[in-house]
Amino acid sequence: MNRTGSFRKNLKVWKHKRTSPGAAPGAINLEEDAFSPQLYVTSFNSELLFEMPFDSLDQVQERIHKYPDMVHWVELKGFGDKSLLERICYEFNIHRLEIEDVINTYQRPKLEEHDDHLFIVTRLLKMNDGSLRNDQLSLFVEKNLVLTLQENYDEHFEAIRTRIRTGKGHLRSSSSDYLSYTLLDSIVDTYFPLLEVLGERLDELEDELFTKPTRASLQRIQQIKRELIVLRRSVFAERDKVNDILRSTSSLISEQTKLYFKDTYDHTIQVMDLVESYKEITASLMDIYLSSVSNKLNAVMKVLAVISTIFIPLTFIVGVYGMNFPRENPVTGELLPLNMPELYSPYGYVGVMLFMLLLVMVQLYVFWRKGWMDKT
């Protein structure tokens, strides 16, 4: 359905790979068309920077153990290899339920605190060819390790890798919690251009509704409404998640980094505010659409009423003079002087025509006074 995009796909309701009710929890059931996995590790401290793709988890573990005083950012893109995912559980001490949440990419944003790691689910919303894309990004934050997992090969974090390379900001000199902040903040920041796009659409729609409303406008309103519903669900949960991080007592997040997360929190509040405002605007656009439908009907009816009201009496008048009351009885020849004497006056026809002209002018004047000739 190319109309409003696939709504259920956006809402991420339920995926077929999810097994039937009654299945064991923590089951790793991959989709058939899952992307083959790509591993990429970026290791840095304030002085050093290594980054390269890896083929196997062994190499990754080796790297991590070799440089215990660096921050290691392990990226996994594509969930096509079940055994790799199971090894990740084993190597990084991750619960099977968590990996299930990573793979079933319809989770709400959330924070789960464990003794040795944090598990963070976040949603990445992007406008793609006019329809909303709604992907899931999962993060595991450990002492000097951040593990990010995503279903496809999206290059969203490229900008951050550039910042690491160029060594800008205090990213290079800080710990894994600041890296995770940087990653999460970059995701919340994607809401702003999204809202910008939606805001522009709302402005255009309002213009359209006031100038040339069509049935397609209604579909556009409906589409924005649905996108806002998706957005709202995401942002609410995102806000709760960042709030959970702020209130977290885990030693993995320093007070210093929480200061930055406070900033992210402010941004989510701001986004929520805007989404709520947009929802109100959208609701009022619906009202404007409905009123414009009524206005169109009014315009049509006014034209019909003006034309009818002018011509119906005229047609009656000419009907009168089309009656066949004769001047004299055709059989007896008796004169019938009361039968339509107007017909036989030299000025009968001209008089009737002038009378009708006068009538039209009076009617037009009345309509003009009533405002029926107005544009609105």
Nearer to a second copy, 71 or 187 (CB): 187
- Phi/psi for 130 (5° steps) reads 85, -10
3-class SS of residue 52: strand
Tell me if 57 sits within 8 A of 84, measured CB to CB: yes
Tell me if 232 sits within 8 A of 273, measured CB to CB: no
Tell me if 244 sits within 8 A of 264, measured CB to CB: no
Asked if 365 interacts with a second copy (CB under 8 A), we say: no
Tell me if 30 sits within 8 A of 19, measured CB to CB: no
Question: Which tokens hold the place of 363?
Answer: 């009617």
Asked if 189 interacts with a second copy (CB under 8 A), we say: yes
Compute the Cα dihedral for 28, 34, 36, 40 and give only its sign.
negative
Nearer to a second copy, 36 or 309 (CB): 309
Encode burial over 9-46: b for 16+ CB neighbours within 10 A, e otherwise. ebebeeeeeeeeeeeeeeebeeeeebeebebbbbbbee
Of 29, 45, 144, 186, the residue at the interface with a second copy (CB under 8 A) is 186
Nearer to a second copy, 48 or 335 (CB): 335
Stretch that binds a second copy, among 37-45, 80-88, 145-153, 299-307 (CB under 8 A): 299-307
Nearer to a second copy, 128 or 345 (CB): 345
Of 84, 89, 352, 364, the residue at the interface with a second copy (CB under 8 A) is 352
Give the distance from CA 22 to its chain's centroid: 34
Residues 153-182 close enough to bind a second copy by CB under 8 A:
157-160, 162-163, 168-169, 171, 182
Residues 120-159 close enough to bind a second copy by CB under 8 A:
157-159
User: At which residue do the structure tokens 């990996």 appear?
Assistant: 99
> Least distance from C-beta 48 to a second copy, angstroms?
20
- Phi/psi for 169 (5° steps) reads 65, -175
> Least distance from C-beta 71 to a second copy, angstroms?
16
> Least distance from C-beta 78 to a second copy, angstroms?
22
Residues 56-115 close enough to bind a second copy by CB under 8 A:
95, 97, 106-108, 110
Stretch that binds a second copy, among 44-52, 69-77, 133-141, 206-214 (CB under 8 A): 206-214
71-77 and 145-150 strand pairing? parallel
Rounded Cα gap, residues 81 and 99, in angstroms: 13
Of 58, 291, 354, 355, the residue at the interface with a second copy (CB under 8 A) is 291
Asked if 218 interacts with a second copy (CB under 8 A), we say: yes
> Least distance from C-beta 346 to a second copy, angstroms?
5
Distances (CA, A) of 23 to 60, 64, 189, 227, 306: 33, 36, 38, 32, 71
Asked if 348 interacts with a second copy (CB under 8 A), we say: yes
Rounded Cα gap, residues 85 and 26, in angstroms: 12
Question: Which tokens hold the place of 107?
Answer: 């989770």
Asked if 313 interacts with a second copy (CB under 8 A), we say: yes
Of 38, 59, 190, 248, the residue at the interface with a second copy (CB under 8 A) is 190
Beta bridge partners of 335: 328
Give the distance from CA 79 to its chain's centroid: 27
Residues 8-27 close enough to bind a second copy by CB under 8 A:
8, 11, 13-14, 18, 20-27
Nearer to a second copy, 23 or 52 (CB): 23
Of 69, 83, 129, 215, the residue at the interface with a second copy (CB under 8 A) is 215
Rounded Cα gap, residues 273 and 232, in angstroms: 10
Rounded Cα gap, residues 255 and 339, in angstroms: 108
> Least distance from C-beta 18 to a second copy, angstroms?
7
Of 86, 91, 116, 196, the residue at the interface with a second copy (CB under 8 A) is 196
Stretch that binds a second copy, among 56-64, 135-143, 242-250, 335-343 (CB under 8 A): 335-343
Count how many residues are written for the chain. Answer: 376
Stretch that binds a second copy, among 48-56, 68-76, 138-146, 201-209 (CB under 8 A): 201-209
3-class SS of residue 119: strand
Q: How many residues bind a second copy (CB under 8 A)?
A: 132
Stretch that binds a second copy, among 32-40, 46-54, 127-135, 190-198 (CB under 8 A): 190-198
